[in-house]
Amino acid sequence: MSLPRRTAALAGVFYLLTHVTSVAAVVLYGPVVTDDAWLAGPDGGGPQLLGALLDIVLAVAVVGTALCLLPLLRTHAPLGGPAYLVLRGLEAAVILVGAASVAALVSLRDAGLADGGAGVALRELYSATFLVGAGLVVGVHTVVLAVVLWRLRAVPRWIPVLGVVGSALVTASNLTVMFGLADEVTTARSLAAIPIFLWEISLAITLIVRGLRLPAPTGAPEKAAVAAAA
């Protein structure tokens, strides 16, 4: 297996890791967002701290996807590749802020102070980071990568189409929450997230199984056009 092929496969593994860690973290956070009584509850905050740890792993995996794709796309997409890395880095930074806010909230709760203004503020900060990171920033960098992959025909074309559709739906649903037009947890928002979930899963599987089908470098027509799938 060539280096580009291994790099693409590693990017796919990072994509799958982002899904495992993000879903697990949300489950572990649980009552932090949905239960007001949790702020003054007596039980320990172990699950929430584990969720914060998983969010740290998530942030690393998020950056890992872009770092792996950058050397594969840089020649063919000199703007799109670096732009995707920057946006993924921004997403990771927002995720880390959310993890830090939960860790601080658990500390306040252990001290019996979480049911005051500071605790509520930290909880709202976490909710805001989830809205901005997993909602708005993801929508932007998904379009960037989907357009690059579509233009290069690097993956089956239905995958970037799924990405663009998913990006539009996720961005719209999160904007409705930001402007107070919808609640944070609704069936419509859950359904709107399905296409972008399928985009990332299908892209991850494609990267692992076959890699990227990139054009041959300019000036090297004798080389195979499958630059990253050899």
In angstroms, the Cα distances linking 176 to 11, 54, 79, 126, 213 are 32, 28, 30, 18, 37
Burial of 113 (0-12, 13-18, 19+ CB in 10 A): middle
Spans of the chain below 70 pLDDT: 185, 217-230
**Contacts of 225 by beta carbon, 8 Å cutoff, 6+ apart:** 213, 214, 215, 216
pLDDT digits (tens, 9 = 90+) for 166-215: 999 999 999 998 898 888 767 888 898 999 999 999 999 999 999 999 98
How confident is the model at residue 62, as a pLDDT?
98
pTM over 0.85: yes
How confident is the model at residue 117, as a pLDDT?
86
Task: Give helix 46-73 / helix 138-152 axis angle, nearest 10°.
Answer: 30
Q: Quick one: CA torsion of 65, 91, 18, 186, rounded to 10 degrees?
A: -140
Asked if 105 and 32 touch (Cβ cutoff 8 Å), the reply is yes
Cα–Cα dist 60/71, whole Å: 18
Cα–Cα dist 71/73, whole Å: 6
How confident is the model at residue 180, as a pLDDT?
86
Dihedral pair phi/psi, residue 50, rounded to 5°: -65, -40
Structure tokens at 94: 């927002």
Return the ∠ at Cα 207 (arms to 82 and 188), rounded to 5°: 80
How confident is the model at residue 87, as a pLDDT?
98
How confident is the model at residue 188, as a pLDDT?
82
Cα–Cα dist 30/51, whole Å: 9
Backbone region of residue 216 per phi and psi (left: phi > 0; alpha: psi in -120 to 50; beta: other values): beta
> What does R_g of the chain's alpha carbons equal in angstroms?
20
Closest Cα to residue 41, out of 88, 109, 131, 124?
109
Per DSSP (E only), the strands in the chain are: none
